[in-house]
Amino acid sequence: MSNQSSSNDAVGTEFQLERTPLRRIQMTLHRYPWLSSLVVLLAVVIFFGAINERFLLPATISLMVQQTVIVGSLAIAQALIILTAGIDLSIGSIMIFGQMLMANLAVYVVASNVLPIAGQNPYIAMFLGVIAAGLAGAINGFLIVRFGLPPFIVTLGTWSVFMGLTLIFFRARTIQGPEMPEEMLFLGEGFAVGPFFVTYGLLLMFAMYFAVAWALRNTAWGKHVYAVGDDPLAAQLSGINANRVLFSVYLVAGLIMGITAIITIGRVGSASPNVDPMLNLQSITAVVIGGISLFGGRGAVVGALIGALIVVAVEMGLSLAGVDQAYRTASIGILVIVAVGVDQWIRKVKA
């Protein structure tokens, strides 16, 4: 037995020896993958703050944070899916479908006599919109789990399908803010905290981040999301129902897209089918820059928020510096590639 413990010590020391400063940084980043994105965010803010004093004005900061709300909320859904080593291209299209559904229910349904109650009560309209988005997410999950189709292809398909359904059901008509019951625009309102302006939509986004991050850290479901993303076969052999976990992730992601639909109506002040066709890609960008691995199982959801803030801060900083839109777009692209490179390096921590 003493022989055994001495060989144990040998293994222990051997393990200690490898801890060079660079390796220690790598290990720390491995444990807290959002840390590198936080450092990048601070560097970006300090850099642009130094070259242009307007960057750090409370009004600019408030604006940047508000600009993050839509992509930041969608990035929660995207982060959950990417943690399972999936990807969701349908994210913007489902959100827009939910948004158009709730706005149309609230505004037009009374006249058509279908579900008259939805028209009278905007809360029911919003609820139905969120449920519809949840169902859309569940359809993605069902196709992926039941038929084993790759998430990339499934969501590429449903991206078009829900875009098409939006045009078929709601035509291309934008519903303007004044047409809608004012309850639907509530999340765009807000209050002043000192010199900063905080919207209720922003608070709701933070609440969603908190809830998802808490669930990932503190529930068995959260552990299983990571385990399935890491290695679905190993998770299955450990007694986890990998399919059920995957399906639940797509369902929850759909519900988050539905809630984001309400936030978007408040933020934009109208419900339009052409909000931003790039939302799906922007949410992926935020997640990747936030240190969540595209290979699944690694990263913290808060990273997605930091990633979204980095994108907005770089855009704003370059724009204040008078840099042309084309260069701004290109620089975000470079940021994504660097972020993926850093992720690869961190994952090499394996002994």
Partner 1 sequence: MSEPIVKARGLVKRFGSVTALNGADFDLFKGEVLAVIGDNGAGKSSLIKVFAGAHTPDEGQMWVNGEEVSFGSTQEARAHGIETVFQTLAVAPALDIASNLFLGREVRKKGFMGTVFRQLDKKGMRRQAAEFLESLGISTLQDITQAVETLSGGQRQAVSVARAAAFGSQVIILDEPTAALGVRESAKVLDLIKDLKARGLTVVLISHNMPQVYEVADRIHVQRLGKRAAVVTPKSASMNDSVGIMTGAIDIPDTDQQLSPL
CB nearer to partner 1: pick between 7 and 20: 7
Stretch that binds partner 1, among 25-33, 117-125, 140-148, 307-315 (CB under 8 A): 25-33
Instruction: Give the SS3 label for residue 190.
Output: strand
Interface with partner 1 (CB under 8 A), residue from 1, 17, 111, 326: 1
The closest of 171, 200, 239 to 66, measured between CA atoms, is: 200
Tokens, residue 346: 């961190």
- Answer yes or no whether residue 209 interacts with partner 1 by CB under 8 A: no
The closest of 81, 84, 70, 100 to 167, measured between CA atoms, is: 100
Q: What are phi and psi of 162, to 5 degrees?
A: -75, -30
Instruction: Give the SS3 label for residue 175.
Output: strand
- Answer yes or no whether residue 349 interacts with partner 1 by CB under 8 A: yes
Interface with partner 1 (CB under 8 A), residue from 12, 21, 148, 178: 12
- Closest contact distance (angstroms) between CB of 12 and partner 1 is 5
H-helix or E-strand spanning residue 5:
helix 2-17
Instruction: Give the SS3 label for residue 216.
Output: helix
For 108-130, b/e burial (b = at least 16 CB within 10 A) is: bbeeeeeeeebbeebebbbbbbb
CB nearer to partner 1: pick between 21 and 350: 350
- Answer yes or no whether residue 8 interacts with partner 1 by CB under 8 A: yes
- Answer yes or no whether residue 50 interacts with partner 1 by CB under 8 A: no
Tokens, residue 345: 């390096």
Please report, as residue ranges, which positions from 314 to 343 form the binding site for partner 1 (by CB under 8 A): none
Interface with partner 1 (CB under 8 A), residue from 124, 231, 243, 320: 231
Interface with partner 1 (CB under 8 A), residue from 49, 157, 174, 223: 223
Interface with partner 1 (CB under 8 A), residue from 27, 114, 153, 338: 27
- Answer yes or no whether residue 30 interacts with partner 1 by CB under 8 A: yes
- Answer yes or no whether residue 243 interacts with partner 1 by CB under 8 A: no
Residue 194 class from Cβ within 10 Å (0-12 exposed, 13-18 middle, 19+ buried)? exposed
Those residues with Cβ within 8 angstroms of residue 312's Cβ, 6 or more apart along the chain or in another chain: 64, 67, 68, 71
The answer to whether the beta carbons of residues 171 and 108 sit under 8 Å apart is no
- Answer yes or no whether residue 4 interacts with partner 1 by CB under 8 A: yes
Strand-pair partners of 176 = 270
- Answer yes or no whether residue 351 interacts with partner 1 by CB under 8 A: yes
- Answer yes or no whether residue 97 interacts with partner 1 by CB under 8 A: no
Strand-pair partners of 270 = 176
Q: What is the largest CA-CA distance in the chain?
A: 85
Q: Give me the DSSP letters along 71-97.
A: HHHHHHHHHHHHHTT---SSHHHHHHH
- Answer yes or no whether residue 32 interacts with partner 1 by CB under 8 A: no
Interface with partner 1 (CB under 8 A), residue from 7, 20, 113, 274: 7
- Answer yes or no whether residue 287 interacts with partner 1 by CB under 8 A: no
State the Cα–Cα distance between residues 62 and 72, nearest whole angstrom: 15
- Closest contact distance (angstroms) between CB of 338 and partner 1 is 22
State the Cα–Cα distance between residues 253 and 251, nearest whole angstrom: 5
Stretch that binds partner 1, among 1-9, 86-94, 98-106, 173-181 (CB under 8 A): 1-9
State the Cα–Cα distance between residues 347 and 293, nearest whole angstrom: 9
The answer to whether the beta carbons of residues 294 and 347 sit under 8 Å apart is no
- Answer yes or no whether residue 5 interacts with partner 1 by CB under 8 A: yes
- Answer yes or no whether residue 227 interacts with partner 1 by CB under 8 A: yes
Interface with partner 1 (CB under 8 A), residue from 237, 321, 330, 338: 237
- Closest contact distance (angstroms) between CB of 13 and partner 1 is 10
**How many residues sit in the footprint of partner 1 (CB under 8 A)?**
35
Identify the residue whose tokens are 């900063």. 196
- Answer yes or no whether residue 206 interacts with partner 1 by CB under 8 A: no
- Answer yes or no whether residue 183 interacts with partner 1 by CB under 8 A: no
Binding site for partner 1 (CB under 8 A): 1, 4-5, 7-9, 11-12, 15, 27, 30-31, 218-221, 223-224, 226-227, 230-231, 233-240, 297-298, 349-351
